[in-house]
Structure 1
């Protein structure tokens, strides 16, 4: 199948998932995960109506952004080292992967240099997997409170990458927990903290994520095919 056909199929699945749980499909945005895919594939997706793309590697993202002359919305979704933040400065609409105060401080510092504010999501490792980034949920309020005090950025929601399972129903509890965590943070009434985005769900489990409240689903393989 072509990228355009894949996108059409995914949009239909999003619509169906929203109907099942009584949500408006306009409240769910598809992030096309284009890491390790060429600029030509991104261009093809754009021509098929996709405007929002997610990249995971700083250098690759910068290279592609310079190659593509289209009005795309770029999100950074991968693990981020503090010393690489300066390369993203002013170039991303949303950073999904803020999992520690030191990283938030550097984002704040870099965006203040250009007089802008960075929109970020706090990432939590709900499965407590050593191989994955993400803060501990037990420190959620403490982290959100500390980050909220920094100038130059705004927390707009949460992100998680649950343990892999071929059966989507078995990861539902992780998606539900992220939604609950967002509610707990929102109830704290922290300044400049808005729990309006939940970034969760990938190619094989995004329908369950939508049923549990996802507003951003990160889909790569189902759009572009397997990565090398």
Structure 2
């Protein structure tokens, strides 16, 4: 399959999965995770119809964004404070915020640039080897971010355990439930304007499990960019 054929297959399958659970076919945005490919593959993907790209290294995000500044670039990697200056203002959405100090650094950089930086809070479902905020700490983080003028939380992100689709589905279900609980808790505190619509969850192997649980974004790398992905 060509890259175009792989992307069209994924886009069709995402649309079918949305339709199967009663959602509009365009309810889920496909983010092409381009972290393993160079600019020529990004250019090919753009021609195929991909316009959202995910990068996990600040320098690569900056390089590819500057090569294709009119596309939508998402930062999906671990945040390193000293490199956030390459991310803020280039990323349309930072998916991996989970520390107050990083939120404050994003606030300062966005204020200097005169912008509001959209972010997702990354939630760890209990895996010790992965980053992310514990669910019990999420409300405090959301309240902190609500007080920042140049940081706008748009929703939540998580990564599921690999290799077990039942566990993945349960992880995604818990994130959707947590999002609803947080929305209610914020409303009780008079913060109804905090919009947690976005749920970034699901990758090449488990996006089919994420969509019925309410994913609004799926992060697809190998299934689009790898010729060897079955």
TM-score range, shorter chain: over 0.9
2: distance between equivalents of 1:160 and 1:152? 23
1:26 deviates by 1.4
- In the TM superposition, what is the alpha-carbon distance from 1:32 to its structure 2 partner? 0.3
Tell me the equivalent position of 2:224.
223
The CA distance in 1 between the partners of 2:19 and 2:89, in whole Å, is 36
What root-mean-square deviation, in Å, do the aligned CA atoms of Structure 1 and Structure 2 show? 1.5
Q: Kindly indicate whether the alpha-carbon contact (under 8 Å) linking 2:15 and 2:26 is maintained by their aligned counterparts in 1.
A: no
2:106 equivalent to 1:107: yes
Aligned to 1:185: 182
For structure 1, which runs of at least 5 residues remain unmatched after alignment? none
Cα drift, residue 226 of structure 1? 7.0
1:40-51, aligned counterparts within 5 Å?
40-51=40-51
Aligned residues: 224
Give per-residue Cα distances to partners, 1:34-93, cap 9 Å, x unaligned: 002111111111001111101000011112223336x21111111111111111221111
Once residues 149 and 81 of structure 2 are traced to their aligned partners in structure 1, the CA distance between those partners, rounded to angstroms, is 17
2:204–2:220 CA contact under 8 A, matched in 1: yes
CA distance in 2 between counterparts of 1:163 and 1:169 reads 10
Q: Which residue of 1 aligns with 2:38?
A: 38
- The reply on whether 1:173 has 2:170 as its aligned counterpart is yes
After TM superposition, list the pairs within 5 Å mapping 1:1-228 onto structure 2. 1-68=1-68, 71-126=70-125, 128-165=126-163, 167-187=164-184, 188-189=186-187, 190=191, 192-225=193-226
| TM-score normalized by the length of structure 1 | 0.94
CA contact (8 A) 2:176 2:199 kept: yes
Q: Give, in whole Å, the separation in 1 of the partners of 2:192 and 2:227.
A: 42
SS at match of 2:219: strand
Q: In structure 2, what is the Cα distance between the partners aligned to 1:171 and 1:180?
A: 14
The answer as to whether partners of 1:155 and 1:192 remain within 8 angstroms in 2 is: no
CA distance in 2, matches of 1:212, 1:46: 28
Shift of 1:209: 0.2
* Residue aligned with 1:75, SS: strand
Q: Deviations over 1:94-113 (max 9, x none)?
A: 00000111111100110000
